[in-house]
Structure 1
Amino acid sequence: MTPWLQLAAVGGEAAEGGQGAEEGAHVVFHLFGLPVHESIVTMWILMGLIILLGVLVARNLHQVPRTRFQTAVEWVVDSLYGFVTDIMGRERARRFTPLLGSFFVLILFSNYSGLLPVLPHENWFQPPTSRWGVTGGLAVFSFVAVQAYGLARHGLGYFRRFLEGPVFLWPLTVPLAVIEELIKPFSLSLRLFANIFGGEAVLAGLLAALPWFLPMGVMFIEIIAGFVQALIFTMLSALYIEAATADFHHEH
């Protein structure tokens, strides 16, 4: 099989050396007795690259860009800021763009890591967003952030958002509102995981059967899909934060 892309551990491949691991995951090493799978190693590598990129950008900043690199970075930041501003307004966008932009950049890097020409065939490498555990962790972090920002904005009055309709209907509407809130991280994680995992599986199969030329069309689609999925996750997180921090009389 061509080394362009191999979907690590698809089909429930067991960990090497008889080490106990969850189905379909390879344990690269143990840290304080806890297994560290290949998707986590890849996530740490990507995080390191993003931090390094941030350091390089911050070292030679100028009020008026003098390099194409700074110009490109500023364009990306301005685009993200404008995107978040359209959702929640300028004031809150200044506060929440760092978090939402971090989601977008990390997810985009993770989605595109599966398209690298050499690394994906290594047993310590796997695109993080092709693992539900990783996308679930990102979604839970987004969910916790939404609740924290809502409580910070409204205090305990934040829970009034679950009291919809007449009082006599609260026994029915409150549980439904809570369930709807709890479903949000599940839908966020499943949407991202399913799209990336499915695309990786299709591309791996095509590359195994026809390693030249034909899979290029699928790879182009994966480039678009990776960007769209990162954007959707960021947009939905922004919408959830906007709803949690908005004045209640604007929500109904």
Structure 2
Amino acid sequence: MYHDHFYSQEIVIPFLDLSSVEVGKHLYWQLGNYKLHGQVFIVTWLVMSVLLGIAIWGTRTLKRIPARLQNFMEYILEFLQDIAKNQIGEHEYRTWVPYIATIFLFILGSNWAGALVPWKLINLPEGELAAPTNDINTTVALALLTSFAYFYAGLRKNGLGYFARYIEPTPVLLPINILEDFTKPLSLSFRLFGNVLADELVVSVFTLLVPIFIPLPVMILGLFASSIQALIFSTLSAAYIGEALEGHGEHD
């Protein structure tokens, strides 16, 4: 009887259900036939609102001789431009600065939201609030955006000749080159998700054990690690786009 019941439970589990990829409990919102992770959307909207508010506030009165806030905003822009320029190249990088900047700022804001805000103090009917990048679905979506971006970049510049890269330097490498394009988004998404999840777990454990002093250095280290993860993700995204743009054509 036990074995029959066990196997009957296994039969109803779908062989492949991408929507079931999750870690822990979630607050679900029902939208038609789909279930959305509500707590992820709540914090995502908050992060986007803060980033948008800072952008509007910092650029509302631009001056030839910039003040402190404008100086800060210009420094951030130059920093993000340098990331794109170093990885994509002098002639092509300007087109991709908005994408690379958006990816960096969103991941940085999401990671910092998880490291700085005590979301666990807010009780939900089910699940708990956390950094959006603490959810595997968010990191996979960001990685897929990068995949679409570098395919688009390569096809836009080189046309169908872009796919010739799969048989270079020899057609024998065709399976390996195809596999590489599948592993890129996987490595991007799981690296970001794993690091953010590990950081939040460490802070939570230390907070439970020693609530006052010990978590502070760990939180500071978490902020640094969160910034590094945003930098790594955006730099690798720019590098993949730059690699796709090389193709067979020459820069203009």
Shorter-normalised TM range: 0.7 to 0.9
Asked if 1:163 corresponds to 2:164, the answer is no
Say if 1:104 and 1:234, in contact at 8 Å, map to a contact too. Answer: yes
Say if 1:21 and 1:27, in contact at 8 Å, map to a contact too. Answer: no
Letter in 1 for 2:227: F
Superposed, which structure 2 residues align to 1:223-234 within 5 Å?
A: 223-234=223-234
Superposed, which structure 2 residues align to 1:186-201 within 5 Å?
A: 186-201=186-201
TM-score by length of 2: 0.83
Match of 2:153 in 1: 149
Match of 1:128 in 2: 132
Letter in 2 for 1:103: I
TM-score by length of 1: 0.83
Superposed, which structure 2 residues align to 1:27-106 within 5 Å?
A: 27-32=27-32, 34-37=34-37, 38-65=39-66, 67-106=67-106
Whole-Å separation in 2 of the counterparts to 1:238 and 1:121:
37
Say if 1:162 and 1:178, in contact at 8 Å, map to a contact too. Answer: yes
Say if 1:151 and 1:158, in contact at 8 Å, map to a contact too. Answer: yes
Q: Report the 3-state secondary structure (helix = DSSP H, G, I; strand = E; otherwise coil) of the residue aligned with 1:244.
A: helix
Say if 2:62 and 2:70, in contact at 8 Å, map to a contact too. Answer: yes
- Per-residue deviation, 1:22: 5.3
- Per-residue deviation, 1:91: 2.3
| Identical-pair percentage | 31
Match of 1:184 in 2: 184
Whole-Å separation in 2 of the counterparts to 1:249 and 1:98:
24
Q: Report the 3-state secondary structure (helix = DSSP H, G, I; strand = E; otherwise coil) of the residue aligned with 2:54.
A: helix
Asked if 1:140 corresponds to 2:147, the answer is no
The Cα offsets for residues 84-142 of structure 1, whole Å up to 9 and x where unpaired, read as 22222222221111110110000000111112344343236210111111100000011
- Stretches of structure 1 that go unaligned for 5 or more consecutive residues are 1-19
Q: Which moved more, 1:44-53 or 1:22-31?
A: 22-31
Say if 2:162 and 2:247, in contact at 8 Å, map to a contact too. Answer: no
Match of 2:220 in 1: 220
Match of 1:236 in 2: 236
Superposed, which structure 2 residues align to 1:101-120 within 5 Å?
A: 101-120=101-120
Q: Report the 3-state secondary structure (helix = DSSP H, G, I; strand = E; otherwise coil) of the residue aligned with 2:168.
A: coil
Distance 1:57 1:31, change over 3 A: farther
Say if 1:80 and 1:97, in contact at 8 Å, map to a contact too. Answer: yes
Say if 2:21 and 2:137, in contact at 8 Å, map to a contact too. Answer: no
Whole-Å separation in 2 of the counterparts to 1:183 and 1:109:
26
Aligned residues: 226
Q: Which moved more, 1:45-54 or 1:95-104?
A: 45-54
Distance 1:213 1:91, change over 3 A: same
Match of 1:8 in 2: none
Distance 1:178 1:61, change over 3 A: same
Say if 2:21 and 2:136, in contact at 8 Å, map to a contact too. Answer: no
Say if 1:21 and 1:35, in contact at 8 Å, map to a contact too. Answer: no
Match of 1:12 in 2: none
Match of 2:204 in 1: 204
- Stretches of structure 2 that go unaligned for 5 or more consecutive residues are 1-19
Whole-Å separation in 2 of the counterparts to 1:120 and 1:31:
26
